[in-house]
Amino acid sequence: MAGYIGKLLQVDLTSGAIGVQPLDPAFARPYIGASGLAARLYFDMTLARGLQAEPFSPHNPLLIMTGPLQGTTLPGSGRFSVCSRSPLTTFWGESNCGGDMGPFLKFAGFDGIVITGAAAVPSVLWIEDGHAELCPAAGLWGKDTYETADALGAAGGKGAKVFCIGPAGENLVRYAAILSDKKAAAGRTGMGAVMGSKKLKAIVVRGSGKVTIANPEPFKALRRAVQAKIHDNLPLQGFKSFGTAGSIYYNSLVGDIAARNWQQGTFDDSALLALDGTTLADTILTGSSACYACPVVCKREVEVTDGGVTRAKGAGPEYETIMGFGPMLMNSDLKATAAANELCNRLGLDTISCSATIAFATEATERGLLPSDLKWAETEPMLAMIGKIAQRTGPGDLLAEGVKRAAVRLGVAADADWVPHVKGSELPMHDPRCYYGVGLGYATSPRGANHNAANVYIELGSAIYPEMGLDGDLSSRRTEGKAFLSAMSQRLGCVVDALTLCFFDSWGYTLEEMCQALNCVAGFDYDVAELARSGERLWALKRSISNLLGATAADDRLPGRLLTPLADGPTAGSAPDLPAMLREFYEICDIDEKGRVSRERLESLGLGDVAALL
Ligand code: SF4
């Protein structure tokens, strides 16, 4: 099996048993890898057996999966997926992570890790060149992710990669993240809390193997061609120079600004400039870094000191984090957003959900519903609240549950206009009142509001895919055509994810080149039609898993505040017509009134066994 290792590591934390399961070659081609393969494995391990494991049940599997391109030198092929039933949404959960962990897992001899059970004592999983063992996490429980990575990195020796949770995961904060070597995070949908529920503090990987490439010469030509295109891509060059936050000021000009818990679509010009990646480059930047095999190098490294105290040193804030701890909380202090980023990373929290939950809590405080010292634009209470959430102390215990559950406990309806979530997941920082297609993506994604499912860059025209019809007039504030755009871009997102390509690097590939990548590495004979079909299959499978876990058409929604036009700013008077877009989306995806993909469509995608359970 070129491209694949052909082996999955099985770990039962309850019994301590460790085994190796062959990767079924019949699964490799239709499900490709990463979250695609993970969805198939999750379905077979649970729902197909009549098991609906609660997110924190030992029976809920945690799947860490790579893909066929991973570990090669193809540009942007260093991402991998962590998947499980989400404790935040209770539906299908997946999180995409960069860094080096994915490639090194393959170098260590495994395509993925299938983790079940729960350990009696906090544990660390050590993996090295085909071998694995569980050890007590002596003295590490309670340590933050940087302390843990330093300790285990030193113990593991040169080349050891550390993937670990912090106190937030240990304390089952529903949006806890897993950190990879202090520089990348599997942030979304609470995978760190699932790992914490299994009392698995960390996974340490060392590997010296390599990935076999089926057709090396065309592979080299493809790599050169894609690298050249990435080098010449203007937005990606912008990311290289200024990080993802380099677009903050531009986004404000078109009205893509989420401020004050979505009450505003504008923020002071000078404040936005103070937060922009160009300012970051001139002030707190100390360097840049990249995930494995990535020529874009978008990651920022920063250092922030205050009165002789270091408040951030290392991985810097990205676009979502700056917007979340910036305008969403009415804060224009870049150094405070960098400090918030470091706190979230150390404690193991998703920066999107954490900042969005604090913004909701700030409004709840203002409304007299929540006793707290949170105030708009005040950074010290904001920073203190991050620690309280991770440790579940004071109001942090409530906010550790996420926006939806916190609202209900405060006596507010989960679907109240000002409670911003979709399927229980807090929203990323792109505004549906600016990009209607993004809003539809948030509403219909199987994992709740997610910016990789709702591809703003396709709607912006930064990325075009004529082979899937994604090249027409996609102007953002228009209902017509957005159902098609959202359906296709979600399918494309599933493919890019399964291939383990970074969304940014994927702009350097045509769909034909993605097929060539699979064919050169794995020896398949994929064409564009099959790739698009696989995208639809993966989306339909994830959607069906969420349906089987309780998601219905009623969950395909947006908060009322985001369906209400703003009075001023670039998007004044504009709001998406969600019912109209949903009707068309359901037709394109063959979804019934209960929100389920039809039996006929599932069967045509080779998912007859899934259809039989719906
Ligand atoms: S573009 Fe940025 S996030 Fe994507 S792989 Fe490269 S460094 Fe990582």
Report yes or no: 494 and 94 within 8 Å, Cβ to Cβ: no
298 lines ligand 1 (CB under 6 A): yes
237 lines ligand 1 (CB under 6 A): no
Q: Atom 8, ligand 1: which residue's CA is nearest?
A: 291
Q: Atom 4, ligand 1: which residue's CA is nearest?
A: 502
Measure the CA–CA gap between 248 and 270, rounded to whole angstroms: 12
For residue 136, the cross-strand partners are 123
Q: Model confidence over 462-500: pLDDT tens digits?
A: 788 999 988 866 677 889 899 999 999 999 999 999 999
Residues of the chain where predicted confidence (pLDDT) is lower than 70: 472-474
Ligand 1 centroid, distance to 482 Cα (angstroms): 27
Taking the CA of residue 298 as reference, the ligand 1 atom at the shortest distance is: 2
76 lines ligand 1 (CB under 6 A): yes
Q: Report pLDDT for 473.
A: 65
Q: Report pLDDT for 455.
A: 78
395 lines ligand 1 (CB under 6 A): no
Ligand 1 centroid, distance to 405 Cα (angstroms): 33
Q: Report pLDDT for 307.
A: 86
Q: Report pLDDT for 552.
A: 98
Q: Report pLDDT for 457.
A: 81
504 lines ligand 1 (CB under 6 A): yes
Measure the CA–CA gap between 608 and 85, rounded to whole angstroms: 22
Ligand 1 centroid, distance to 236 Cα (angstroms): 10
What are the backbone dihedrals phi and psi of residue 264, each rounded to the nearest 5 degrees, phi first? Answer: -125, 150
Measure the CA–CA gap between 324 and 561, rounded to whole angstroms: 17
Ligand 1 centroid, distance to 299 Cα (angstroms): 7
240 lines ligand 1 (CB under 6 A): no
Find tokens 């058409």 and name the residue: 553
Strand 62-65 with 131-136, pairing = unpaired
DSSP code per residue over 573-593: T----HHHHHHHHHHHHTB-T
**What pTM does this model have?**
0.97
124 lines ligand 1 (CB under 6 A): no
Report yes or no: 252 and 264 within 8 Å, Cβ to Cβ: no
